[in-house]
C-alpha cells in the first residue's frame, strides 16, 4: 500500500506538467487561430487591447455574432464590458440588456441593468433614456416614479426622439411628474406629429379642446374668449366632436367670435352627426326657429328625437309640444302624452305639472297604450346611456 502512495506522489509532478502542457497547447492553438484571423480582426483586436473603446465594442459585437471570427458569447461580453467601462454609450446600453437577460457569463441582475442604462442615458443614448422613462413609468411591473420617468423622457424628447416627445405630451396633458400644462403638451405632441407619429397626431385634438375649455372657464389660465374659440376651432377642424359643439355655442352666443347663427348651425351639425347630445338639441332648436337655417319642423323633430333618446332633459318636452300643436306632424294627443311622460320621468318640472291634467284628454285605452309606449322609450333611453 505504501508503494502505491509513494508512486502517486512521484506521479504528481507529471500531472502538473500535463496540465501545464495542456494549457500551453490551448494558448498556442489560440495564438495560431488569431494568426489566421482576417487582417481586419487582427487590427481590431490590437486596438481593443490598446484600450480603444470603439474597437473593444466592435470586437465584442463580432465575437457575439460570429462575424469573421468564431462566435464566443463569454469573450464577447468581456470586450463589450470593457468598452462600457471606458464610456462607450452603446456598449453601456448593451450591458444593460445583457444584465437584464443574463448572458455570456453575466448573471441576471435588474439593478445592474438599470445602472448601465443610466450611464448610457447620461451619455446621451436616446434608447436608454426612453427605456428608463418606461421603466420609471411602471411599464415593466415596478412601482412608478413619475418624476424620474419625466426626467428621462424629457432628455429623449430634447434630442428629437419621437417616443420621448409623445410621452412628454402625455405627462404634461395628464400632470404625470409635472404640473398639468396643455400648452407644453401641445408643443411636444406637435413635434412628434410633425415627424409622422400617429399617436401624437391623435392626441392633439383633445389637447386643443381642453385648452379651449380652460381659456373659456379661466381654469389655470386667464379667461380669454378669443383664445377659447381659437383652440376649439383647431380641435373642431380635426374632427373633435365636443369641440365642434362648444365652438357652435360660441358662434350662437357671439363669445370670442362674431355672433353668426349660420356658422353656429354648421358646427352644431358636425357635432350632432357625431352624436353630441347638446348639439343635436341645439340644431333642432335652430331648425324650429329658423336661426341660421331655413325653418324646418321635420328636421327639428328628427334631431330632437336624437337628443331625447340620448337622455336630453329638454328634448322630450319640446317633442310633446310639436305633437300637441301639430308642427311638422299631425296633432297627436297620445304622442304628446308619451313625450310629456318621458320628460316628467327625466325630472322636467313643467311636464310633471301638466301630465296628470293632460291625461284626462285621453280615453282609458289610449292612455294605457301611451303609458306603455312611454315606458318602452324610457327603457331604450336608459339602455342607450348605459352603453355609451
Q: What is the per-residue pLDDT across 354-366, written as a single tens digit (0 to 9) for each?
A: 999 999 999 999 9
Q: What's the pLDDT score for residue 8?
A: 32
pLDDT exceeds 60 at position 13: no
Instruction: Retrieve residue 156's grid coordinates.
Output: 429623449
The CATH class given to the 44-121 domain equals mainly alpha
Of 133, 259, 247, nearest to 188 by C-alpha is: 133
177: alpha, beta or left, given left = phi > 0 and alpha = psi -120 to 50?
left
Question: CA angle at residue 178 from 176 to 180, to 5 degrees?
Answer: 80
Q: Is 351 left (phi over 0), alpha (psi -120 to 50) or beta?
A: alpha
**Can you give the pTM of this predicted structure?**
0.77
Return the domain boundaries, the chain.
44-121
Whether the CB-CB separation of 200 and 165 falls below 8 Å is answered with: yes
Lowest mean pLDDT among 41-45, 97-101, 136-140: 41-45
List all residues 6 or more positions away from 15 whose beta carbon is below 8 Å from its beta carbon: none
Q: What is the pLDDT of residues 192-201, one digit of tens each?
A: 999 999 999 9
Residue with cell 332648436: 285
pLDDT band at 38 (very low <50, low <70, confident <90, very high): confident
**Which of 164, 170, 162, 197 lies closest to 186 in space, CA to CA?**
170
pLDDT for position 17: 47
Q: Is the dihedral of CA 190, 192, 197, 199 positive or negative?
A: negative
C-alpha cell read off for 348: 322636467
Amino acid at each position: 500500500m505504501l508503494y502505491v502512495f509513494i508512486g502517486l506522489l512521484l506521479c504528481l509532478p507529471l500531472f502538473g506538467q500535463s496540465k501545464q502542457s495542456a494549457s500551453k497547447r490551448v494558448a498556442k492553438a489560440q495564438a495560431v487561430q488569431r494568426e489566421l484571423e482576417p487582417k481586419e480582426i487582427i487590427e481590431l483586436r490590437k486596438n481593443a487591447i490598446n484600450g480603444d473603446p470603439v474597437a473593444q465594442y466592435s470586437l465584442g459585437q463580432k465575437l457575439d455574432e460570429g462575424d469573421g471570427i468564431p462566435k464566443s458569447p463569454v469573450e464577447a461580453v468581456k470586450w463589450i464590458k470593457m468598452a462600457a467601462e471606458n464610456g462607450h454609450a452603446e456598449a453601456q446600453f448593451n450591458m444593460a440588456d445583457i444584465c437584464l437577460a443574463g448572458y455570456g457569463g453575466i448573471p441576471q441582475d435588474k439593478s445592474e441593468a438599470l445602472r448601465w442604462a443610466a450611464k448610457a442615458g447620461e451619455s446621451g443614448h436616446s434608447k436608454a433614456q426612453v427605456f428608463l422613462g418606461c421603466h420609471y413609468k411602471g411599464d415593466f411591473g415596478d412601482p412608478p416614479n413619475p418624476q424620474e420617468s419625466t426626467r428621462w423622457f424629457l432628455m429623449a424628447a430634447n434630442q428629437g426622439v419621437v417616443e420621448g416627445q409623445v410621452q412628454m405630451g402625455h405627462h404634461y396633458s395628464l400632470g404625470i411628474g409635472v404640473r398639468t400644462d396643455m400648452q407644453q403638451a401641445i408643443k411636444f405632441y406637435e413635434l412628434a406629429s410633425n415627424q409622422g407619429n400617429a399617436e401624437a397626431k391623435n392626441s392633439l385634438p383633445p389637447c386643443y379642446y381642453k385648452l379651449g375649455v380652460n381659456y373659456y372657464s379661466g381654469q389655470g389660465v386667464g379667461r380669454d374668449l378669443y383664445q377659447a374659440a381659437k383652440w376649439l376651432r383647431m380641435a373642431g377642424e380635426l374632427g373633435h366632436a365636443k369641440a365642434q359643439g362648444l365652438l357652435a355655442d360660441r358662434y350662437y352666443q357671439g363669445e370670442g367670435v362674431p355672433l353668426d347663427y349660420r356658422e353656429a348651425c354648421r358646427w352644431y351639425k358636425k357635432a350632432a352627426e357625431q352624436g353630441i347630445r347638446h348639439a343635436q338639441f341645439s340644431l333642432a332648436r335652430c331648425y324650429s326657429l329658423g336661426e341660421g337655417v331655413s325653418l324646418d319642423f321635420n328636421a327639428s323633430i328628427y334631431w330632437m328625437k336624437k337628443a331625447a333618446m340620448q337622455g336630453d332633459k329638454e328634448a322630450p318636452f319640446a317633442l310633446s309640444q310639436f305633437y300637441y300643436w301639430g308642427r311638422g306632424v299631425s296633432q297627436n294627443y297620445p304622442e304628446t302624452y308619451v313625450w310629456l311622460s318621458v320628460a316628467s320621468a327625466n325630472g322636467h318640472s313643467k311636464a310633471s305639472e301638466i301630465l296628470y291634467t293632460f291625461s284626462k284628454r285621453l280615453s282609458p285605452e289610449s292612455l294605457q297604450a301611451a303609458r306603455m309606449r312611454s315606458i318602452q322609450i324610457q327603457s331604450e333611453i336608459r339602455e342607450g346611456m348605459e352603453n355609451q
